[in-house]
Chains A and B, each alone.
Chain A
């Protein structure tokens, strides 16, 4: 159970496919003008990812190594077509808003990357969990970008006006340029958080090392004196 929770955490935060692994940039940039579209896109990709991971994992012993990429693409495109038809039947407005990006899930690098890196080497259940984790991570990243863009670009959240009417809408955030800028700034924040965390861990290690060294060396001889002695010996 703990392993699955760790997988979930890995996909959503530590190893987020969009924000950390930087995969699947096209939908992250294109379908994030509104939170609604972002959620729709994220869940559609998640559905495809879970199904394709499950099937590729089930078939992993039968797919010959040489043609595996082609086989993965056929499996993925089959599920994408199914999702596309389902969305056209039940969520027509969302289907129209996302446009070509639903069939383009086929060439989304996240799905192929998980098939190659995880599902082709692991049994079905962990593969499904991996699909859920990575899909939710992707959805989370999309929502993050979409929240910023929708709030700044049109002053709304999920279609409800949040900011006062006097707020000047910054249309640039709805335009393509805003997508690049927003994602760039969000990834900069993510990198800042990562670097800070890494620095803290490194500081802790240095601190622990120093303490260990101080315990071993007798207090009478200070670090500098010891170094001098070593230098004299050399």
Chain B
């Protein structure tokens, strides 16, 4: 994979095919954990960390375990197990060796197992036939796109908290409509090919 290809893959994954605003992968944490900008950033960083590692690990599992034995149809089961184990392992590792990072990301890690962004990035990596570098770059930049989306969104929501909408719109509807407006802004990237 040449440098140019890596750059174009990153640009596409972060902006053009943003996980939230054009693919809807990972909407639950996006709508749930975006109350405050710092928690949103923490969640985004935790997802970035897990998705980069899990992208490479699931790629290796598929390439060296599932494919040689003709077990491709088990990829969903295998990937979700690998991700769950990996998240658990990362949690233990961070707690033991990098406590500062653990105290920053710790509470978000258990939530990530059932984050569909992580599973879908693993499945997309296999579907698009990336190599190991491609898997790492794709996982990292897709998660970066997720972080960008959730942080920007949390900033907007922090402003909205002082707004006074009609009672029926309070809470979730207002959040969704804000997300719709942001998605409109992001849709200007759609169709760009590098």
Contacts and interface: CB of A to CB of B under 8 A. Distances in A.
A135 B48 CA distance: 32
A25 B28 CA distance: 6
Interface string A169-205: 0001001111111011101110110010000000000
Interface in A102-117: 103-104, 106-109, 112
Contact of A81 (B77, B114, B173, B186): B77
Contacts of B179: 180, 184
Contacts, number: 122
Given A77-B77, A187-B172, A26 B25 contact: yes
A15 to B, nearest CB: 15
Dominant SS at the A interface?
Answer: helix
A78 interface: yes
Interface stretch (B3-11, B100-108, B118-126): B118-126
Contact of B183 (A84, A107, A180): A180
Interface size class of B (residues with CB under 8 A): 35 or more
Interface residues of A, number: 42
A184 B180 contact: yes
A152 to B, nearest CB: 14
Contact of A184 (B21, B25, B173): B173
A187 B170 CA distance: 10
Interface of A: 22-26, 29-30, 69-70, 73-74, 77-78, 80-81, 84-85, 100, 103-104, 106-109, 112, 172, 175-181, 183-185, 187-189, 191-192, 195
Interface of B: 21-28, 31, 73-77, 80-81, 84, 113-116, 119-120, 123-124, 127, 167-177, 179-181, 183-184, 186-187, 190
30 contacts: A22-B31, A24-B28, A25-B28, A26-B26, A26-B28, A29-B27, A30-B24, A73-B80, A73-B113, A74-B77, A77-B77, A78-B77, A104-B119, A106-B119, A107-B80, A176-B22, A176-B187, A179-B180, A179-B183, A180-B177, A184-B172, A184-B175, A184-B179, A185-B173, A185-B177, A188-B169, A191-B170, A191-B172, A195-B167, A195-B168
